[in-house]
Amino acid sequence: MTGTVHPVQQAIASLPLPEEWEWEFVVRPRRRTLGIDVAPDGGVRFAVPPDADPRQVADAVRARLPRLADEVRRRRRRPAEQVKELVDGTGFAYLGRRHRLLVIPADEGHRHVRLHQGRLELPRSDDRREGGRRIADWYTDCGRRWLGLRMPSFAGVVGVSPKGLVVRDLGTRWGACDPDGTISVHWAVLQLPPALVDLVLVHELCHLRASGHGAEFRRRLRSVLPDANERERRFAEEEPELWRGAVR
């Protein structure tokens, strides 16, 4: 690295981070607080606003190191990405229930994926990637409706008024709270049982009142979901198995 090292980066580097960690530091003009993301391979990214105080950031990172270390270890042990074969009988989960895929002729009156009589119907396509995209779109549409019905009541309990809800591919993240107040949820989360989908939604709603994952955030999360710790444990066990759209 050349040039002057940012004071916050120096503060983070002075902490007892494990030598085997691969981490990076970025300044985000639109951020208001410290953000810590753990990539699927266990890499860590520290993102801070331009006016971040080095000592405050170091203290915040130090306080989170035990939980962060657990997350890095878990990510490094995670299984390979789930890849689905788009043939009859392949299992797809929706809200915790598994459904078998049924590939149907493309000329049977509809071109979209649907859940029909307990089977997930996929119109046949010569392009398997197109088939994968259609199933992801189905999760997205279902998620938008399902979460859209649940968000108002949870938002009321949290005491926030989100600008809107978006269900989309978030890459390595399961949820996001945008600066303008929009809540985003990854479509793949809709494979989980309702209690765990609710966890992701409430987690992001709480970020509208408390940035970061400190004591204030944890208090708000538990005030809405008293069993949040147990839900998080289950989520950590189940999320590595989620299908993110890869097909063969």
Residue 98 forms part of a structural domain: yes
Residue 86 forms part of a structural domain: no
What DSSP designation does 33 have? S
Residue 152 pLDDT:
97
Question: Last residue of some domain: 77, 102, 136?
Answer: 77
The tally of domains found in the chain comes to 2
> Do residue 104 and residue 72 come from a single domain?
no
> Do residue 69 and residue 106 come from a single domain?
no
Residue 3 pLDDT:
58
In order along its 248 residues, the chain shows pLDDT tens digits of 445 789 999 999 999 999 999 999 999 988 888 989 888 788 999 999 999 999 999 999 999 999 899 889 888 877 778 899 999 999 999 999 999 999 999 876 667 899 999 999 999 988 999 999 999 999 999 999 999 999 999 999 999 999 999 999 998 889 999 888 999 999 999 999 999 999 999 999 999 998 878 889 999 999 999 999 999 999 988 998 999 999 98
> Do residue 112 and residue 69 come from a single domain?
no
State the pTM of this model: 0.75
> Do residue 41 and residue 114 come from a single domain?
no
Residue 1 forms part of a structural domain: no
> Do residue 64 and residue 143 come from a single domain?
no
> Do residue 227 and residue 147 come from a single domain?
yes
CA angle 31, 203, 158 (to 5 degrees): 100
What are all long-range contacts of 84-89, with beta carbons under 8 Å and residues at least 24 apart?
84/132, 84/243, 84/246, 84/247, 84/248, 85/247, 85/248, 86/122, 86/128, 86/131, 86/132, 86/135, 86/247
What DSSP designation does 191 have? G
Please tell me the chain's helix, strand, coil percentages from 3-state DSSP, rounded to the nearest 5.
40, 20, 40
Residue 126 forms part of a structural domain: yes
Q: What are the distances in angstroms from CA 48 to CA 28, 100, 180? A: 6, 44, 18
> Do residue 24 and residue 111 come from a single domain?
no
Domain that holds residue 182: 91-241
Residue 110 pLDDT:
67
> Do residue 198 and residue 100 come from a single domain?
yes
